[in-house]
Amino acid sequence: MSRSEQAIFTNMCMIYDSTGQILVQDRVKSDWSGITFPGGHVQQAESFTTSVIREVYEETGLTISSPTLCGIKQFQTSAGERYVVFLYKTNEFTGELQSSREGKVFWIKKENLFDYQLAHDFEKMVHIFESEDDSELYYYQDGEHSYSKFL
């Protein structure tokens, strides 16, 4: 069995403040549209931490510090690649909020999150961001069907 494989690494960050607000992005790309948190692809030879700081800056105008890794989501793409999303959170940030072409970013009350049109499976990702016990949202294949589980 090969010990290497094709993989796509991405990140996402939940930024929260002391008043119970979280920063969401209304993602416009049709491949996975809806309300989510900012994030994107890790570049070649970039550290995972640097990549989430860079993506958050590009998509929100905010400079975050001390992002804490709180979990992972992963699934296999139709091309057979392992798609990995590293999930971070932080409440340390500076700068002026600025949306990008990826989608409008805005603060909402955390308890109102589920009133919005969320990206597909984002609700399950929120569980990982918040859970003390689960740290992975993993998709597995059973025949033609894909199922998720929390680990």
Ligand X SMILES: Nc1nc2c([nH]c(=O)n2[C@H]2C[C@H](O)[C@@H](COP(=O)(O)OP(=O)(O)OP(=O)(O)O)O2)c(=O)[nH]1
Residues in contact with ligand X by CB under 6 A are 10-12, 31-32, 39-41, 55, 73, 85, 102
Q: Which residue in 83, 86, 84, 85 sits closest to 70, CA to CA?
A: 86
C-beta closer to ligand X: residue 20 or 46: 46
C-beta closer to ligand X: residue 21 or 34: 34
Work out how close the CB of 29 gets to ligand X at its nearest, in angstroms, rounded to a whole number: 6
Compute CA distances 102 → 6, 18, 28, 58, 89, whole Å: 25, 26, 6, 9, 20
52: part of which helix (H) or strand (E)?
Answer: helix 48-60
Work out how close the CB of 65 gets to ligand X at its nearest, in angstroms, rounded to a whole number: 19
Distance CA 27, CA 48 (A): 22
Work out how close the CB of 128 gets to ligand X at its nearest, in angstroms, rounded to a whole number: 10
Work out how close the CB of 108 gets to ligand X at its nearest, in angstroms, rounded to a whole number: 18
Compute CA distances 35 → 3, 84, 109, whole Å: 36, 19, 13
Distance CA 28, CA 99 (A): 12
Work out how close the CB of 74 gets to ligand X at its nearest, in angstroms, rounded to a whole number: 10
C-beta closer to ligand X: residue 20 or 98: 98
C-beta closer to ligand X: residue 20 or 77: 77
C-beta closer to ligand X: residue 91 or 100: 100
Residue 33, token pair as written in the block: 């549209």
